[in-house]
Structures are given as structure tokens and as C-alpha cells.
Chain A
Amino acid sequence: MERFADEADVVIVGGGPAGLSAAIRLKQLANEQEKELRVCVVEKAPQIGAHTLSGACLEPGALFELFPDWKERGAPLNTPVTEDVFSIFTEKHRIPVPILPGLPMQNHGNYIVRLGNLVRWLGEQAEELGVELYPGYAAAEVLFHEDGSVKGIATNDVGIAKDGSPKDVFERGMELHAKITLFGEGCHGHLAKQLYKQFNLRENCEPQTYAIGLKELWMVDEKKWRPGRAEHSVGWPLDRHTYGGSFLYHLNEGEPLVALGFVIGLDYSNPYLSPFREFQRWKHHPFVASTLEGGQRIAYGARALNEGGFQCIPKLTFPGGLLIGCSPGFMNVPKIKGTHTAMKSGILAAEAIFPKVTAEDLDSQTAGLHVPEYSENLKKSSVWKELHAVRNIRPSFHNYFGLYGGMVYTGIFYWMLRGKEPWTLKHQGLDAHQLKPAKDCKPIEYPKPDGKISFDLLSSVALSGTNHEGDQPPHLTLKDDGVPVERNLAIYDGPEQRFCPAGVYEYVPVETGDGMRLQINAQNCVHCKTCDIKDPSQNINWVVPEGGGGPAYNGM
């Protein structure tokens, strides 16, 4: 069955901060220079912003570049940071850590934002400029010209039943061809995964390392509300060898709303660790519980984030396309900020490709345009400088003293020398390979959720609003069906039951006879990508489900 195909000048995969910044910049340039330019953005979320999840403390630099008049235009940056608090938690107490100016977690001049709302606003600005936005449509396949350059993307076929057969409502996906395709799928994109292999983009960088971030929104008692206050903690409940920490931001948007969450490095080694349950028990720390008591939880979600930084940036351009945003990964890990760099990368990409896509007679070696200027300009920009300066902070964590060694390193080398030390520390390799066998580790006794401050997994997943059309093939695919029980369960006690923040993976007894099987509850998936990252056998391959499915985050 033939697929319908359409042509655009630029196709952008992913309607997040990077993709929308690129789209906006392209149309701003086109309108300035009175040139025609068809820019199409495909986004798997049902509406722009529905799959966006972040803390977030935003550095507004890149937004200023896109829209110097962002305030007048009503960008939802309503909460300047007024108080910055950093603590090391012990089980019952906290040790305050002074945030001296110059330390990465200092937030003066930044805004606490609900990133989903900012992304929605960016989407509105993009549409006004003439960008064609298509939320609810997932890019499932990369298309190639005969010469091997990228031709565009295709959306997935819809109306396929669970067993793979076509239903009555079966429809083929559509092909969107472009002179150049920008891939901004966010952390650990599934198309980017294919492109790394296809064009060997990772041959000169380290494998990416990640963390999982879980987040909740709470309506707190007005007496506990301190708008503009940004709190961060490290320490309890994690041991010094497990990287991670928390954030708690008091928003200032007219109601006592607090955004809080917990981040755990996915290079943890104990397969009995459950990021979700660490998050839930962290909330019981007296310093946190005092804010939440009497409040009501109104949202929940989770997403993987990059931790690799400078050492893990791949080759960014290839014939017919390039990578932007958290997909290649420009997050400043100690600052835990990646939005400003993602937006900047989108802007740089747009500025680099614009002259080439609008050139009257461009002499291109390949059918799909290759724009290495994007990468060259990025290397000369603030993004590169910033990432280079903090490159050693995360890897410095891997020492005998763990967290404390890392903090000492940050204090000496970053605060005093701003990352000018001549060496570059390495990460440990793939996160998936860091798990120790279950027999060498101790199971962790997690407290039961109390239903007031901490909650069970399923009621949390319900709050994410996630849903998928039930009768479709599960989008969490296994390369080898035998591996989960034979390897993951046998050696690692099935860590996917614990690291998935949505309860997708369950080991259940088989219906007849002895033994277990892996049950995949694909409908619960919140598209966080943790399973694809942390599966010790690297057997799980996350592919995109029918567009429009997934979480329904609102201002997360």
C-alpha cells in the first residue's frame, strides 16, 4: 500500500523547547528576509506540552534571543527565584550548604517555570509565525534517499491490532520529505538511536549516561507557601555512591503550587533500588514533609534526563539532518538545567541551515542537505563553554567518597578554577552495565506509602493522565523474548519492575505450570525511556506508539 507523501523545506521531529525554538527562528528569518519557507513540526503528544516534564529553573538567555519582548508577549515566566536553599539530608536532619556565588546551583536571575506551559506558549508563538504544528502525530521511521542521506520521516501506520493484523480502521502513515530534518526528540530519542548507528555518530564520544527524574505537583497549605523559593538536597535517602538528589520549587502564579521531584543517576548498581519508592520516602523527610502536610498532590510524571554532558556529545550533523536539544544532550548536570542550552541549540541550528535551505542554486553533494556549520557554530557558542567548564563534576562522583568526593572536587576545581583543569575525567560506560547481580546486593526495605504524603505506584500513574489505544502492538518491544526471565529475572531479579516509574513491567506466574513471565502493561507507559536505557540486557527497545498516546501532562 502506497503512502501519501508531502514536501516541506524543513521538518522538525519533536515539539519541545529545542524543536520549537528552531522552528520559530527559521520563520523569523524567513519573514525578515521575505522568503517562503515551509516548516513542519511533528510531535507525538496529543497537544504541545503534554509530554514535557522538567523541574524547572530556567535561565532566560535563549528566550531573550528568540523574543526580546517575551514579557510583553506573555511568556509564562512568573516566578523569579528569590531564595536558594541547598541541603545535605540525613534521615532526620539537614546540613545547610551555603551557595556561594559562582557555584553551579546558584539561581540568581533565573525563573521557576512550568515548562509544559512555556512549551505551549512557544507553540502558540510558532503558529503565529506560520509554523505548521502537528501534535498527535509520531515520527516512526527515518526515510533515506538513494545516496544514503536523510529524506525525511514517516508517521506510523495506525489501526493495527495487538496481534499485528490490520483493523478496519487501518491507515498507512504519511511521508514528510524535507531538504533537511531536525531531530529534537528529547533525552534518548528512538529515531536518534537509529541515526547514531546509521551514521556512526558516536564513534568519538563516550556512551551517554542518564538519570531518571520523577516529579509531582502539589497544592500546599497557604501557610507553607513561599513563592520564589528553590530548594535542592542531596544525601538521604541515597547512599553516597548513588548519584541523585531532589528539587522543590515554590511557584508564584496566584495559587500555592509547589513543584518537587527526585533525580537518581541510572548508573546505580543495586537492582533492588526503586527510583519511585526512593522519591516517595524522601518526601517524608521532616524538611519536606513540613511543606507538604495538609496539601494535595495534583500531578505526577517521570522522564529520563542526560547526565553525560560534554564527554558524551555525539557528532551532530549528517547528510540530510542534524540533532538538537536533549537528544544529543546539552544538559548542564550540576546546574540541572538543559532547557536554555536546548533552546540555544535550536536557534543555532536554524541560523545555520537557513541560508542553505533558501539558497537559489545550492550545490549540495547529497540529496539531503548537510550543514556542518551548525556543529562548528555550536562549538564556538556559550553552550560549549558552559558544558566544558562543568565537564568533570559528574564523573568526579566516582571515587571512594562518592558524593562527598564529588562535592569537594566541585568546590575546588569548579568554584575556584571554573573547569580550567587540563584533564577530562571519564564516565563509567553504559548505565545498563552498572547493575550488580541481585545475589551480591541487599534488598531495600521501603516504607509503605501513607496515602497522604507518599503514594502507591498505580494511583500515581493515574495522575499522569497517560493512556494509549489498547488494541495496538505493545510499543515496548523485546529483541529476544526469552531474555527477561532467563537473564533479567534470573541474575538481576527483574530490575525493570522497579525502575519503571509507571508499572509497565511485572513478572507474573505463568497460567499453567511453574515459572514466571514478563507482562508488559504498555498502556501505562509515560514515555520516560528509562527501560531502554537501564535494561541490563539492553533487550528492551522503545518504539513510538500511535501518536496522541502517552501522558497528558499539564504544565509539568
Chain B
Amino acid sequence: MSGRVLVGVKRVIDYAVKIRVKPDNSGVVTDGVKHSMNPFCEIAVEEAVKLKEKKLIKEVVAVSCGPQQSQETIRTALAMGADRGIHVEVSGKDYETLGPLQVSKILAALAKKEDAQLIILGKQAIDDDCNQTGQMTAALLDWPQGTFASEVSMDGAQVKVVREIDGGLETIKINTPAVLTADLRLNTPRYATLPNIMKAKKKKIANVKPADLGVDLTSRLEVLRVDEPPQRQAGMKVETVEDLVEKLRDTGMV
């Protein structure tokens, strides 16, 4: 077993920022907007670094697909404890149409190239909420998947994953190599402190193009339109139950 873990980190608009739709409804405004690492990706990085600290795996490689600024996101992962980074350059129109299918193909190709034992991703990104990349990557590689992980433990060549599901918690045991996706309660990510950011500047980030990995970035999806959610209308107060029933009848709801 190589002992190498690939962690995917995505640069997304910060969760506290108010999103604004572009005037032409083609997307959201991103220029100059505060971006940060997807919160679920932070949890994924933390889990990988914890596994390394427990000496269960040997190397953590942080991967990000995107434009030049994605390197900042990789640096944060390096400051949290990842050993090296891989920046897959995707920019311009390609970046606008980049989605889970293309990213999964990229991750699958890298996993084979790097002889990864584990891929740990966030369960979903907070900008598109797709929740697809982990599952698609596992399918492309024909690897088992442990998604919505709230607890991960390694047992030799197997991984025990406690998954958060609708009914409660499900515990499964899967063989490695495998894909895991991190859910909220998996861990609390550590801070990327200043001394670690300074040290991270010395860690290597390799530049790779999707074409080098044999990945075609053409999207099968076309975004037709992006709109703001409808404005919440003010509610109405009524005095009696009779008034309520009358209003419900008036508006055709009853």
C-alpha cells in the first residue's frame, strides 16, 4: 500500500458573502468577491492530516482544479499539514463549465498516477451543492465509497466508516483503495497558522493540465439561466379563525 492520500480542495465563494446574480443572468458575480476553501474540503484535509499524525498513512497530497487563485486554496491545505499540492489548471470558459463529472475524471486519473490508497473529499461544495464528485470518482475507479463520513478508522487494509444517513448512523467496512467524503461532524478543522503558512511556501505545488491526464473537459450540461430566489412576500396577520378560513378560501388554497 502506497500510504498516499489524495485530498480534493475546492475554492468557493465564502459562505458569509451575499451572492449577486450577474445582470445578464448567466451566473453569479465572482470578481473580487471573497473566496475561501469549501468548508467540507477543510474537514477532508483535517481528516487526512489526522490519519498521517496517527501514522496510518504516509503522505497527504492536496489537489485543486481551477484558475491561478486555486493555488491559494492549496497553500491553505499545505499550511494545515498536507505534504505537497497538485494544481490542475482550468480557467476561462472551461472553468465556468467545470462540473463534478470532469473533476471526477481528473481525480481518477491522478489517483492512478499517484497510486493513491485513499481519496478524501468534502461531501459537497457549498456553491453548487452537487454532492456527486466523490461518488462519480469511486465509480470511474471501480473503488468502494464511504460517503457522508462522520467517523473514519483504519483497520489494516480496510476502512471502517460511520455514515450519516436519513435514518441515523450506518457503519460500513470497505476495502482500500477507496473514496471517502467528509460530512460536518467528522472533525473540527485546525487553523492554518501564520508560521505554517510561511512554511507552506516552501512545499511544492505541481502544475498539471487536464489534457496531460487525458481528460476532456467538454461539459454535457449547459446553464441556461441563473436567477435570484423570489423575494419573500410579507405575511398577513388575521384576528380570528373565521378570518383565516376566509382568507384561505379567497386565495384558492382551500
Contacts and interface: CB of A to CB of B under 8 A. Distances in A.
A395 interface: no
Contact of B32 (A117, A159, A169): A117
Interface in B152-202: 188-191, 193-195, 197-198
Interface in A73-130: 116-117, 120
A158 B193 contact: yes
A300 to B, nearest CB: 9
Interface string A531-552: 0000000000000000000001
A255 B191 contact: no
Contact of A174 (B20, B188, B190, B195): B195
A169 B190 contact: yes
Contacts of A117: 32
Contact of A554 (B33, B190, B191, B198): B33
Interface stretch (B11-19, B104-112, B119-127): B11-19
Contact of A298 (B20, B35, B197, B198): B20
B140 to A, nearest CB: 34
B189 A50 contact: no
Contacts of A465: 14, 16-18, 34
B23 interface: yes
Contacts, number: 61
B189 A169 contact: yes
A507 B194 CA distance: 38
A6 to B, nearest CB: 7
A152 to B, nearest CB: 13
A75 to B, nearest CB: 15
B117 interface: no
A555 interface: yes
Contact of B194 (A47, A137, A167, A466): A137
A6 B34 contact: no
Contacts of A298: 20
B36 interface: yes
A415 B188 CA distance: 62
A77 B18 CA distance: 26
A555 B34 CA distance: 11
Contacts of A47: 34-35
A404 interface: no
A400 interface: no
Nearest to A116: B32
B20 A168 contact: no
Interface in A430-476: 462-463, 465-467
Contacts of B14: 46, 465, 467, 552
A46 B13 CA distance: 12
Interface centre among A6, A46, A552 (most CB of B within 10 A): A552
B32 A555 contact: yes
A233 interface: no
13 contacts: A134-B197, A155-B194, A158-B191, A158-B193, A169-B188, A171-B191, A465-B18, A467-B15, A467-B16, A552-B14, A552-B34, A554-B32, A554-B33
Task: Give the 3 A-B CB pairs with smallest separation, nearest first.
Answer: A467-B16, A552-B34, A554-B32
Interface of A: 4, 6, 42, 46-47, 49-50, 116-117, 120, 132, 134, 137, 155, 158-159, 167-169, 171, 173-174, 176, 219, 255, 298, 462-463, 465-467, 552, 554-555
